[in-house]
Amino acid sequence: MSSPEPHENGFGLEPRWSVEPDIKTIKQTTQSIRLSSTVEVVFFEQGAFNKLYNVRINEEKAHHASFIAGGLMAGLVLPPQHGSMTAPAKETRASRLLFELTGKPRTAALGLALAAVVLINIASFIAANSSSISILSSSATLAAVLAGSRSGARGSPSADIIGTRADSNYYYYVPSPSPAPLDSSSSSPNPQLSLHLPLCPSEAMIMPAPGPSVAAAARLARQFDYPSPQLQRGVDEFLRQMSEGLSKSGATLSQIPTYVTSVPNGTEKGLYLAVDLGGTNFRVCSIDLHGDSTFNLTQSKVPIPRDLMVAPSYKQLFQFLAKQVEHFLELHHNEHFETTVRRRRMTGTTDQYRREEIFDLGFTFSFPVHQTSINQGTLIRWTKGFDIPDAIGKDVCSMLQNAIDELHLPVRVAALVNDTVGTLMARSYTSPGKTETLIGAIFGTGTNGAYLESLNKVTKMDTSKGADFDQSTGNMVINTEWGSFDNQLSVLPNTEFDQQLDAGSVNPGIQMFEKRVSGMFLGEILRRAILSLTKDPEANLLQKNGSSIPDTSPLYSVWGIDTSFLSAVEADTTSDLALTKAALREHFEVHDPSTDDAVAIKTIGHAIAKRAARLSAVALSAVLLDTGRINTDETVDIGVDGSLVEFYPKFVDYIREAMREIKGVGEKERKVRIGIAKDGSGVGAALIALVAHKSNVGQPRR
Q: Phi, psi (5° rounding) for residue 144? A: -65, -40
H helical segments located in 28-90: 65-75
Q: Which of 16, 381, 656, 673 is catalytic?
A: 381
Burial label, 414 (beta-carbon count in 10 A; 0-12, 13-18, 19+): buried
What is the DSSP-derived secondary structure letter of residue 47?
Answer: G
Distance CA 657, CA 610 (A): 10
Q: Catalytic site residue 419?
A: yes
Beta-bridge partner residues of 395: 378
Residue 670's SS3 state is: helix
Cα dihedral 443/445/451/455 (nearest 10): 160
CA–CA distances in Å: residue 182 to residues 40, 96, 214? 19, 11, 29
Q: Are 196 and 19 in contact (CB under 8 A)?
A: yes
Q: Are 569 and 605 in contact (CB under 8 A)?
A: yes
Distance CA 123, CA 130 (A): 12
Residues 6+ apart with CB under 8 A from 86: 124, 125, 127, 128, 129, 191, 192
Q: Are 684 and 440 in contact (CB under 8 A)?
A: yes
Residues 6+ apart with CB under 8 A from 490: 237
H helical segments located in 536-694: 563-571, 578-588, 595-627, 643-647, 651-659, 680-694
- The closest alpha carbon to 116, from 176, 158, 79, 69, belongs to 69
- Sheet containing 269-277: give its strands across: 295-303, 281-290, 269-277, 359-365, 411-417
Distance CA 463, CA 178 (A): 70
Q: How many CB atoms lie within 10 A of CB 405?
A: 18
Q: Which of 276, 360, 405, 419 is catalytic?
A: 419
| End-to-end C-alpha distance for the chain, whole angstroms | 83
E strand intervals along 79-147: 131-137
Q: Catalytic site residue 366?
A: yes
Distance CA 493, CA 150 (A): 30
Burial label, 658 (beta-carbon count in 10 A; 0-12, 13-18, 19+): buried
Numbers of helices and strands, H then E, in the chain: 20, 18
Residues 6+ apart with CB under 8 A from 96: 141, 142, 145
> Which H or E run includes 631?
none
Residues 6+ apart with CB under 8 A from 472: 261
Going by their DSSP bridges, the two strands 359-365 and 411-417 should be labelled as parallel
Distance CA 498, CA 511 (A): 12
What is the DSSP secondary-structure string of 436-467? Answer: PEEEEEEESSSEEEEEEEEGGG-TTS--TT--
Count, residues in the chain:
702
CA–CA distances in Å: residue 669 to residues 60, 481, 659? 19, 24, 7
E strand intervals along 176-226: none
Report residue 173 CA to chain centroid gap: 24
Residue 647's SS3 state is: helix
Active-site residue set: 366, 381, 419
